[in-house]
Amino acid sequence: MNDVLNPLATSFTAKQANLPSHESAFYTACALVVKGPLGLAPVLVAAERRRRNLGAGSVDQAIGRALVNVPDVVAKPVDEARQILKDQGLTPLVEYHRSDAAEKDKVLRQLPPGGTDELVEEGSQIKLSVGAGPEDQPKDKIDLLLEQVTTVQQEISSLNSKVGAVERGLGEIKKDVDALQSDMGTVKNDVDTLKGKLPSEERKRGQQTTS
């Protein structure tokens, strides 16, 4: 089974790490020749090397989600800031804090800060501290609760989508494995058939020699 899975896992890892096609072909060939877990070692090393070149934090980042810049949304209206982050593939997490009336519904701070060269994983949470206005406005507390509920719902929806994508990917890999196993069974049957014919062919040649 490892002889079948190793090349598939190597190809999948190379694709997720955005390795060039010629490198992907080379590492897949290595996985066909080298049996067992060692067959995956070359592509994992290449993925780690690419992660370091990108300045990411782990192999998972190199073979998983893309890396993106964090835009600076401080002082922007919260709705606009949220949309900017979503367009960048990031997940805004809004927290309201007491502020002056002029700062109401505007981003006061963000974490991690934006406008730098630091890269984060696509889908990462960006915490936004938003002005809620003076504390003596009870409506703001209700708005805060509603915003938090909406944020949680959005995160659940995003996670469900990612889980579905992973399940679909695993399903495709299983189909490929099943197809390979079916092909291997067909080849085995053909070999067995040829082996069965060999004795009769040898007997025929012996009879012709005797004659």
Distance CA 98, CA 195 (A): 84
For residues 126 and 98, the answer to whether their CB atoms sit within 8 Å is: no
> CA separation (Å) from 1 to 16, 70, 108, 180?
22, 43, 56, 10
Interval 2-28 mean pLDDT = 75
Distance CA 153, CA 104 (A): 24
Stronger pLDDT, 94 or 193, i.e. the higher one:
94
DSSP single-letter state for residue 76: S
At 137 the pLDDT is 52
Taking only the tens place, the pLDDT of each residue in 82-94 is: 999 999 999 999 9
**18 conformational bin, left if phi > 0, alpha if psi -120 to 50, beta if neither:** left
Which tokens sit at 195? 């082996």
Taking only the tens place, the pLDDT of each residue in 132-157 is: 988 655 555 677 778 888 888 888 88
For residues 66 and 36, the answer to whether their CB atoms sit within 8 Å is: no
At 55 the pLDDT is 55
The pLDDT of residue 74 is above 90: yes
Stronger pLDDT, 205 or 186, i.e. the higher one:
186
Interval 186-191 mean pLDDT = 74
Q: Residue 9: which residues within 8 A CB-CB, separation 6 or more?
A: 31, 40
Stronger pLDDT, 31 or 120, i.e. the higher one:
120
The pLDDT of residue 65 is above 60: yes
At 41 the pLDDT is 78
The pTM (predicted TM-score) of the whole model is 0.39
β-sheet bridge partners, residue 125: 91
The pLDDT of residue 9 is above 60: yes
